[in-house]
Structure 1
Amino acid sequence: MKARIKKVLSFLGLVLFTVLVAGACQSTSESDQSSEADQASTESISQSTNDSDQVLRVVTTSERYTPFFDKFTEETGIPVEFLSMSSGEVLSRMEAEQGEPMADLWFGGGLDAFISAKDKGLLEQYQSEAVETLPEAYRDPDGYWLSKGLTVGGLLVNDQVLEELGIEKPTTWEDLTKPEYKDEIIMSDPAVSGTMYAIVKGLLDQKGESDGWAYWQAVDANIPFYGKRGKDPEEKTAAGEFAIGIVPIDASSFETAEKNGLSAIYPTDGIPWVPEGVAIFKGAANADAAKSFIDFMLKPENLSELSKLDGKDTAQTVNPNEVEALDLGLETNDLIEQDLSTFGSARDQILEKWAEMTKGKESK
């Protein structure tokens, strides 16, 4: 790496590109019935929890969800405490702390980690009555996890660095294999970041096993080291340490890029994506409070509010079988066709092969 450390730009936190899957197209009579049921449910939750000493402990990916949890506290009387951690870190810690989980609720993070956690017996089973509003692909049939939306992968580019180097900005994933980008690309370790794992898995699904791994080997040749934190690519690209960061991308990414002389890019050869999970930790001290939160979250009006937090007021509640494009030039057919059925089961194998491929390359 050339010594081009520049002033670190304020990144305001990464906002996940969220797709909500709720029954938004209900008839007026169905909405009225739902509203009455929701009111009764809220009253029931409040009566059962307000007088208790419960505290809902939440592991989440971002502090931006605080207003959403504040609303939950207002309705139920249950205070919330937060711990920020990437999905890979959560999974590792859960395995080390079996029987004594660090929190009650896991909110956000790549679905691969949730599926793996289920397979390892680390999650609590809960089937909310309202979960039927979600398409089957976005909820565990056994009730161990559900999805609150989608995160998509893209690129963040430092235009000034590229100008100094005299090279063009990438527009496709395939561009990342070009020799002129050697030592100018950064991504987080996919064993740590669920989004990075989703990008690796998505492009393997798109290209096929043989061509997919050949592709990643070529990209690896242009990456000097892998970030130990999920935020490393954004922060280091914004600081001018790298020309290109592989990142989760959404509306706020474009806003931040515009304000700071960067470019947020949806590669034109397909967008990898991952559902964001929600689950209750097995052995949670306040499992009842976590169940109450899931019931709260699945109300249509609360899913809509969650959508606004995730999309910076641009995402909307959508039909269960559609994907909202956020009016940023991303269309539903831009999303790579991925095999969610192997998202969790293939995780260990993919990460083992990844570790073998990048052996000797230090993570920093």
Structure 2
Amino acid sequence: MKKIASVVVLSLVLVTLLAACGNGDSAKNKDSKKDNTLVVYSPNSENIVNTLIPMFEDETGIKVELVSAGTGELLKRISSEKDKPYADVMFGGLNKSKLTNEDLFEKYTSKNDKEMLAGHQNIDGVLTPYITDGSNILVNTDLIGDIKVESYEDLLNPKLKGKIAAADPASSSSAFAQLTNMLLAVGGDYNSQKGWDYVGKLIENLDGKVANGSGAVHKGVADGEFAVGLTYEDPSASYVRDGAPVKVVYPKEGSVYLDASLGIIKNAKHKENAEKFVDFMTSKEAQDVFGNDLTNRPLRKDAKLGDHMTPMKDIKTLEEDEDYVQKNKDKIVKEYTELFTKKQ
């Protein structure tokens, strides 16, 4: 009996040990699986995240948890979580002028940085630009007739009075970007009388018609409500790609392009995976998709562009003083609002 009891006890011990080993392996596998994840905060459009994130997952085997919200909300969240960050990457919504809290992000320079266009490479080792967007004029080809629209100056044509779609710079970020673009392009800086005189004349030609938001501007032109609109490249290129009766005009005076960047959050739990994410978004594969399949201008030198996009070499570009504009935004908006009220 003692012998049998000893065998039973030994068997139980072996079973327990094996179970413990099994649980250990299971825990190890669970941890390994957990480590093969990435938490991404992003204000980007559904087109971007629904296209690029699955590509990244397929390429790397890393599972992405996506949290979508507005840029301001996500930056506040990153700040509140700085002692124990939940996310690993901020994908979009970042540019030099908005990075007032650089301490929230890790320094990382992608292996693809040298492949990006000059002037659009890593900013101070923290932000990685991956796409850019610029101000332009959208023209309805069915309505414009023989009216020439090649420049900002052409928008002062009396024949266009009341036929120009524009949004309020006080409530629309793209309209504000268009305003500073005009001031720089026409006046040479943001305070010149020449630039503000032009804006005043343009306001008169709007004939009191101001759209509720940026979406109403490009949609109004594509739908035939307006002959021309002051908008930006991403939606404009999408209408061209989809066959709408429109054409994109880059003003002869010059267009300002502002980059969208991504950054790795300080003390990210999955820093190595985050670095892979940054490298992927600047890879040729991803950049080709931005420029060929989507309507976001890629920043890689060798990226492909679809027929719906104009090569950057054919566009006159201007460099905005982002620091000045960000610091003086309220002042610029106030001056515009007072001028708009005066011209009514």
Give the TM-score taking structure 2 as reference length. Answer: 0.68
1:253 paired with 2:239, answer: yes
For each residue in 1:36-74, what CA deviation from the matched residue of structure 2 results, as whole angstroms up to 9, or x when unmatched? xxxxxxxxxxx9974336432322145244222101122
- Is contact 1:203–1:212 with CA below 8 Å preserved after alignment? yes
- Is contact 1:61–1:84 with CA below 8 Å preserved after alignment? no
- Is contact 1:150–1:275 with CA below 8 Å preserved after alignment? yes
* Alpha-carbon distance in structure 2 between the residues aligned to 1:286 and 1:193: 35
- Is contact 1:131–1:298 with CA below 8 Å preserved after alignment? yes
* Structure with larger RCO (C-alpha < 8 A, sep 6+): 1
1:242 paired with 2:226, answer: yes
For each residue in 1:223-258, what CA deviation from the matched residue of structure 2 results, as whole angstroms up to 9, or x when unmatched? 3354454322112223343332112236433234xx
Q: Secondary structure at the match of 1:172?
A: coil
1:309 paired with 2:293, answer: yes
2:315 maps to 334
Q: Secondary structure at the match of 2:293?
A: helix
1:81 maps to 66
Structure 1 residue 272 displacement after superposition: 0.6
1:278 maps to 261
* Runs of 5+ consecutive residues of structure 2 not aligned to the other structure: 1-29
Equivalent position amino acid for 2:328 in 1: Q
- Is contact 2:104–2:265 with CA below 8 Å preserved after alignment? yes
Q: Secondary structure at the match of 1:241?
A: coil
Give the TM-score taking structure 1 as reference length. Answer: 0.65
* Alpha-carbon distance in structure 2 between the residues aligned to 1:361 and 1:103: 43
1:157 paired with 2:136, answer: no
Whichever of the two has the greater Rg, that structure is: 2
* Alpha-carbon distance in structure 2 between the residues aligned to 1:91 and 1:57: 11
Percent identical? 17
Equivalent position amino acid for 2:56 in 1: F
Equivalent position amino acid for 1:221 in 2: E
2:127 maps to 145
The root-mean-square deviation of aligned C-alpha atoms, in Å, is 4.1
- Is contact 2:203–2:340 with CA below 8 Å preserved after alignment? no
2:184 maps to 205
Give the alignment partner of residue 51 of structure 1, picking from 34, 38, 43: 34
Correspondences of 1:1-364 after superposition (within 5 Å): 50-52=33-35, 54-74=38-58, 75-81=60-66, 83=68, 85=70, 90-91=71-72, 94=75, 98-100=79-81, 105-108=89-92, 114-121=95-102, 123-133=104-114, 134-135=116-117, 137-160=119-142, 168=147, 170-190=149-169, 193-207=172-186, 208-209=188-189, 210=192, 211-223=194-206, 224=208, 226-249=210-233, 251-256=237-242, 259-260=243-244, 262-267=245-250, 269-280=252-263, 288=271, 289-311=273-295, 318=301, 332=313, 334-339=315-320, 342-359=321-338
Higher percent of residues as helix: 2
